[in-house]
Structure 1
């Protein structure tokens, strides 16, 4: 087992030892521990997510200039790309800044797959019931969790990008399409993996939905103040 897996399992065990002080049922102990871990991880990810949204806003603001470059260098794609990169650099915008959360979130998801599989193999999750939706945290083929995984991921994507004009922002539109395809893939992974992984992913999606709603409200309030 990799050192990263050992680290995550150690963190889970420490969190569970705290949860045990307040919760008696073993299944609820593990379920709440997974939820707490997911929330803590997403709180740590907040700076990265804020940076992503800032990058998307800047890309949207520069889109008229990008459109001009596309028209000017429509017969020279290499030159157009060069000038677009120069435009972004001059305005301190990263072309790949919007992908950074994906580069962190998805590898952690894969790590969680191994962690929960190990916990199940050790018998720690076997027979652990958490809410009526999850009769066994170690069991797979939970169709309800798979559906919730897809639904919450799509809603999270929509809320996060609802203030970005994807019709005028090819980069954002492309990222959104990838998210929709990934939602289906992650739904399948959730279905074929143990329920603990599904609980982790759905909790993370719900957190990102709430985060997106709050950030959108803050952005809207700032825009209203500018107009006034």
Structure 2
């Protein structure tokens, strides 16, 4: 087992020791520990995730201008790239800013796959249920959890791109198709993996969904304030 796995298992054990002070049922102890770990991890990721969402929205808002540049310089790839980079720079958009959370979130997801598989192999999760949806945290083929994985992932993506819905945005449409495929992939991984991993993923998606709703509400309030001032 890698040192990273050992680190995560140690963190889980420390969090579980705290949860045990308030919860008696072993299944609920493990379930709440996974939920607590996921929330704490996403809180630590919050500044990066907020930066990603703002970058995505700026990129999507600039797509009409990007489309004009692409049409104008379609026969000159070098000039096209130069003008596109200039557009992003003038509007304070980092083209790679939206990739950083993915470079962190997905490797952590893979690490969690190994961690929960180890915990299940050690018998620490076996036979322990958490809510009626998860009768056994070590069991796989949980169709309800898999459906929740797909649904929460698509909802969190929808909310994060809500401000640009209805725009003629080919790049955004292509990105949406990619998100559907990614959601299906993670739904399949959730279905074929133990339920502990699915709980981790659904909790993280739900956190990001709520985060997106809050950010949308804040942006809406700012927009209304600007309109009133005008």
Q: Same fold (TM over 0.5)?
A: yes
Note the 1:1-228 alignment, pairs <5 A. 1-165=1-165, 167-228=167-228
Gaps of 5+ in 2: none
**Matched position secondary structure for 2:164:** coil
What is the TM-score normalised by the length of structure 2?
0.93
Note if contact 1:88-1:94 (Cα within 8 Å) is conserved in structure 2. Answer: yes
Gaps of 5+ in 1: none
Q: How many residues align?
A: 228
Question: How far apart, CA to CA, are the structure 1 residues paired with 2:123 and 2:141?
Answer: 18
In structure 2, relative to structure 1, the CA distance for the partners of 1:60 and 1:153 (3 Å cut) is closer
**Matched position secondary structure for 1:212:** helix
Note if contact 1:128-1:137 (Cα within 8 Å) is conserved in structure 2. Answer: yes
- Cα deviation 1:163-219 (Å, max 9, x = unaligned): 124744444333322221110000000000000000000111111111111100000
Note if contact 1:56-1:172 (Cα within 8 Å) is conserved in structure 2. Answer: no
- Cα deviation 1:70-105 (Å, max 9, x = unaligned): 222022233212221132233331112223222211
Following superposition, the deviation at residue 42 of structure 1 comes to 0.8
* More off after superposition, 88-97 vs 143-152: 88-97
Question: How far apart, CA to CA, are the structure 2 residues paired with 1:166 and 1:180?
Answer: 18
